[in-house]
Structure 1
Amino acid sequence: MKCIVGLGNPGKKYEKTRHNAGFMVIDELLNRHGWELNKKKFNGKYAIEQLEGEKVALLKPQTYMNLSGQSIRPLIDYYGMDPEDVLVIYDDLDLPAGKIRLRQKGGHGGHNGIRSTIDHLGTKEFKRIRIGVGRPTNAMSIIDYVLGSFSKEEQERVDGSIQQAADACEAWIGESFPVVMNKFNA
């Protein structure tokens, strides 16, 4: 069984913000397959589905970004998954809007949702898809920037990266992550 986690903040107020890029990828997967997050438990909304003969959990933590690990850990424990079976999708300031980058492991890079995930999983050994949101080009604070909406131009580029990230999630179900990384990081 595999687990795909999109990081973000719950509620209408945050729906279309840069910080919710992970939620947007989960939404794309749900739309593609006609699924819905029909379970509420473990401080999250999730679904258990089948894709290419593999059981997959799709999770949107409802803890707010900085406490994401509090939702991920109990879900994977309940379903008997290892951190290596987890793919976390999140926004990244260091990538331009429209770019994605897959990694097999790593540090938190200053991202509090990933910091919480590392703390609660007790390891850095989980897969990631970083969705580029760029950095503010003016004096706007990082917090205001990630909690702000995309410009029209950014949104067009980000829509493409959301599609790409969803494609990568689907590819991971049937292929090894290094193969998927080579394909999508090229």
Structure 2
Amino acid sequence: MKLIIGLGNPGNEYENTRHNIGFSVIDAFLKQHKIELDKEKFNGVFYKGSDFVVAKPLTYMNKSGKFVKDIAKFFNIDIADILIIHDEINLPVAKAGLLVNGSSGNHNGIKDIMNEFKISTLNRLKIGVGFNNKFKLKDWVLSKFKLDELELLDKNMFKYIDAINCFLYNDIYFAMNLYNHKLKENE
């Protein structure tokens, strides 16, 4: 059983913000698979299929760890079988990468998950949201994408979903080898 979690903040006011790209990728994944998040538990929503669970925490981004740990424990899913999808300011908009090792950097949602599990490695799909140093970090990640950025993300969404689908039926290293070069290029 695999667990795919997209990070974001709940509420319409956060729709199309950089911090919510994890939610956007989950929404596109659900649409492709013709499924929906139909269950609620542990302060989050999820869908459980025969071999995977897809979920979004309903906590705010920086408090995602408890939800991830609770749902993983509930479905007896090992940390190696979890993939977290989140925004990454150190990548240009729409570029992406699968990652196992590496610190949480400035990402408090990832930091909270790592702290809950008491781990230093975590399978992640990082989606580039860029960074403009004229903004404070918090203001930047809570800002909405510009129209051309949304179009670029939309054109590349299939690659993110393909990488997730690959992870569902393989390990993270296989998915990284197959997709990281594709994810670093924009369509």
TM-score, structure 2 normalization: 0.92
Matches within 5 A, 1:49-64: 49-50=49-50, 55-64=51-60
Work out whether residues 9 and 61 of structure 2, in 8 Å CA contact, stay in contact via their aligned partners in 1: yes
- Percent of residue pairs identical: 38
Q: For each residue in 1:61-102, what CA deviation from the matched residue of structure 2 results, as whole angstroms up to 9, or x when unmatched?
A: 111000000110010011111111100000000000010011
Matched, 1:178 2:173: yes
Partners of 2:39 and 2:164 lie apart in 1 by 21
Match of 2:76 in 1: 80
CA distance in 2, matches of 1:122, 1:13: 32
- Maintained 8 Å contact 2:103/2:121: no
The Cα of 1:152 is off from its aligned counterpart by 1.4
What is the DSSP-based 3-state SS (H/G/I as helix, E as strand, rest coil) of the residue aligned with 1:71? Answer: helix
Partner of 1:130: 126
Structure 1 residue ranges without an equivalent (≥5) = none
The one-letter amino acid paired with 1:73 is: K
Q: How far has the Cα of 1:167 moved from its partner?
A: 1.1
Q: How many residues align?
A: 181
| Residue aligning to 2:159 | 164
Unaligned segments of structure 2, at least 5 residues: 182-187
Structure 2 residue 35 is matched with structure 1 residue 35? yes
Q: 1:89 touches 1:130 (CA, 8 Å); kept in 2?
A: yes
Relative to the length of structure 1, the TM-score reads 0.93
- Shift >3 Å, 4+ stretches: none
What is the SS of the residue equivalent to 1:59? Answer: strand
**Counterpart of 2:54 in 1: which secondary structure?**
strand
Q: Cα RMSD (Å) of the superposition?
A: 1.2
Would the aligned equivalents of 1:102 and 1:181 in 2 still touch at CA under 8 Å? Answer: yes
1:44 aligned partner, one-letter code: G
Post-superposition offset of 1:143: 1.2
Aligned-partner residue type, residue 7 of structure 1 = L
Q: Check if 1:65 corresponds to 2:96.
A: no
1:45 equivalent in structure 2:
45
Secondary structure, counterpart of 1:58 in structure 2: strand
User: What is the Cα deviation at residue 124 of structure 1?
Assistant: 2.5
2:137 maps to which of 127, 142, 147: 142
Question: Counterpart of 1:114?
Answer: 110
Q: Verify the 8 A CA contact 1:97 1:132 in the aligned structure 2.
A: yes
Say if 1:83 and 1:125, in contact at 8 Å, map to a contact too: no
CA-to-aligned-CA distance 1:97-149 (integer Å, 9 cap, x gap): 01001112321011000000101111123210000000015x22221111111
Q: Shift in Å at residue 159 of structure 1?
A: 1.7
Q: How far apart, in 1, do the equivalents of 2:139 and 2:80 lie?
A: 33
1:91 alignment partner in structure 2? 87
